[in-house]
Structure 1
Amino acid sequence: MSLALFDSHSHFDAPEFDADRELALRRALHEGVAQQLVPAVDHASWPKLREVCALSPGLHAAYGLHPMYLEHHRPEHLEALPDWIEREQPKAVGECGLDFFIENPDTEAQRLYFRRQLEIARDFDLPLVLHARRAVDEVIASLRRVGGLRGVVHSYSGSEEQALQLFKLGFHLGIGGPVTYDRAQRLHRIVATMPLELLLLETDSPDQPDAAHRGQRNEPARLQLVAERVASLRGLPVEQVADATRLNAERLFGIGMRSG
């Protein structure tokens, strides 16, 4: 089966790919994953991410400060982000957000970094790549407070009601490996009924493998397995899901739309 897929969230710059990144890229291309959105996690990773994205025109960078890497962040990194965005012209701001699941989270520091990145995304008119774990309500409130924002909540794990609120704000949901697990019944219901135009597919490589590759390093080449499960849940041909989600990602991230 020949699909044209867009992996909307892949940490392809992660050290787990240092030994075989070019081979992993070839495998992804062979499986129809021609494009990936690669979000940053901290300031120190920005130069390497830029180099990785230079490997292929289908690798697109996003720059930001991830809440799970708080110990690496400094106020001057927030100050550096606008200049970096101005110079590098990324497709999004992120990965940023809130994570109240981690042990003893410094919620106030997370909020400070998150709020400023929302403002930067608004000022540059760029979409956001959002992390929201045990913090979806507060993320929604922050989006409303700043206003004028768009983007995707990646690896969505919130409720059906929270999803409806995000849809009203024009935000997409990123769906990856967790949807392939039989126990993910709430996620299955959301994916089966949500607006197709707000659905994105992702791997979150090297993390969150699908059920068939539990415990292994994940990689973009496996995105088709996510597409197949989403298609099954929606009762659609997998080609339709692949095409729709690819176009959704190209539209959200401002990437040249394909003709034909």
Structure 2
Amino acid sequence: MTPEIVDSHCHLDFPDFDGEVEAIIARARAAGVTRMVHICTRIANEPKARALAETHEGVFFTFGLHPMSVGKEVPLSLDQLLAVARHPKMVGIGETGLDYHYTPDSKDAQQASLRLHIEAAQITGLPLIIHARDADDDMARILTEGYRAAPYACVMHCFSSGAGLARAALDLGFYLSMSGIAAFPKSHDLRAIFAAAPLDRILVETDSPYLAPPPFRGKRNEPAYAAHTAKVGAEIFGLSYADFAAATSANFDRLFTRAAARADAA
């Protein structure tokens, strides 16, 4: 049997997938990707994210405001986050974070938004999904300050930052998520960061439709391709594919407890 794995971060409502969602989910399941977390990054897209999760078994959703949209959209309120978080298939807070590469002008607003999402994670007990780009120092500081005020769970999505931020996150008990970037031939330093991390803190994701791993690099990514990234992850940790798939699936269940509870009840 094909080992089961989880795509912990994908964007099924992006235009790249219009009219193909059913086929994409079917291909994912055929590849062993039996569970997927659809990440909602804009307030207006929440109804579609909710509908995707309600329609498809094994598909869950999160809700938040992407840092690159902060300053361009009406700010997300704590009450909005908490209201959506009551949905049984809403399993995480975000994607939130800091992006100083593409949107440095809104850094102050991004930091305020990040703190609001942290508060929602603290209140709900749902894990925080973090996007970090060219903001390692501020990211480590804000995540640490928030955790010291009240602990919360967190995953550093599509981790591709430096070793310092990785260590800061791991020291807080957070998780690092491995995307197709880790499978790129020149990503030696990134693979070394993952290799130095505890196996029980690693997740796998596609971030589809972006960042397809080899042999699909440069093409549209989709949840089925999580298997290709997981094969590289198995090599990094010196494990069989089946063992790495089992380990990262167990990690997912430990972090995304609401999704795990639903699987247990099925």
Q: Say whether the fold is shared (TM-score over 0.5).
A: yes
User: Residues of 2 paired with 1:76 and 1:194: CA distance?
Assistant: 33
Q: 1:249 aligns with which of 245, 248, 252?
A: 252
- Per-residue deviation, residues 208-229 of structure 1 (Å, max 9, x unmatched): 1113112211000111100111
Deviating more after overlay: 219-228 vs 63-72: 63-72
Give the match's secondary structure for 1:27: helix
- Per-residue deviation, residues 84-129 of structure 1 (Å, max 9, x unmatched): 2235662110111110110543111111111111111111111101
Contact 1:78 1:113 in 2 (8 A): no
TM-score (norm 2): 0.92
Q: Which residue of 2 aligns with 1:68?
A: 68
Q: 1:226 aligns with which of 216, 229, 233?
A: 229
Matched, 1:196 2:199: yes
Alpha-carbon offset, residue 232 of structure 1: 1.2
Q: Which residue of 2 aligns with 1:85?
A: 85
Alpha-carbon offset, residue 79 of structure 1: 4.1
**Runs of 5+ unmatched residues, structure 1:** none
Q: Which residue of 1 aligns with 2:111?
A: 111
Q: Which residue of 2 aligns with 1:16?
A: 16
User: Residues of 2 paired with 1:89 and 1:181: CA distance?
Assistant: 33
Give the match's secondary structure for 2:215: helix
User: Residues of 2 paired with 1:84 and 1:60: CA distance?
Assistant: 13
> Given the superposition, is the C-alpha separation of residues 76 and 144 from structure 1 closer, same or farther in structure 2, using an over 3 Å criterion?
closer
Matched, 1:50 2:50: yes
Give the match's secondary structure for 1:211: coil
Amino acid at match of 2:22: E
Number of residue pairs matched by the alignment: 259
Q: 1:169 aligns with which of 150, 168, 172?
A: 172
Q: Which residue of 1 aligns with 2:39?
A: 39
Give the match's secondary structure for 1:8: strand
TM-score (norm 1): 0.94
Contact 2:68 2:103 in 1 (8 A): no
- Per-residue deviation, residues 69-94 of structure 1 (Å, max 9, x unmatched): 22443135454222222356621101
Q: Which residue of 2 aligns with 1:131?
A: 131
**Runs of 5+ unmatched residues, structure 2:** none
User: Residues of 2 paired with 1:67 and 1:75: CA distance?
Assistant: 11
Write the mapping of 1:130-169 to structure 2, written as runs, cut at 5 A.
Answer: 130-147=130-147, 148-169=151-172
Give the match's secondary structure for 1:75: coil
Alpha-carbon offset, residue 36 of structure 1: 0.8
Amino acid at match of 1:43: I
Deviating more after overlay: 221-230 vs 104-113: 104-113
Alpha-carbon offset, residue 144 of structure 1: 1.6
> Given the superposition, is the C-alpha separation of residues 109 and 228 from structure 1 closer, same or farther in structure 2, using an over 3 Å criterion?
same
Give the match's secondary structure for 2:208: coil
> Given the superposition, is the C-alpha separation of residues 194 and 104 from structure 1 closer, same or farther in structure 2, using an over 3 Å criterion?
closer
Alpha-carbon offset, residue 180 of structure 1: 1.0
> Given the superposition, is the C-alpha separation of residues 55 and 86 from structure 1 closer, same or farther in structure 2, using an over 3 Å criterion?
closer
- Say what the alpha-carbon RMSD is for the aligned residues: 1.7
Write the mapping of 1:89-104 to structure 2, written as runs, cut at 5 A.
Answer: 90-104=90-104
Amino acid at match of 2:191: H
Give the match's secondary structure for 1:13: coil
- Per-residue deviation, residues 11-45 of structure 1 (Å, max 9, x unmatched): 11222112211000000000000001111111001
User: Residues of 2 paired with 1:219 and 1:49: CA distance?
Assistant: 17
Alpha-carbon offset, residue 64 of structure 1: 0.6
> Given the superposition, is the C-alpha separation of residues 89 and 5 from structure 1 closer, same or farther in structure 2, using an over 3 Å criterion?
closer
Give the match's secondary structure for 2:98: strand
Alpha-carbon offset, residue 57 of structure 1: 2.0
User: Residues of 1 paired with 2:145 and 2:40: CA distance?
Assistant: 24
Give the match's secondary structure for 2:97: strand
Amino acid at match of 1:224: A
Give the match's secondary structure for 1:213: coil
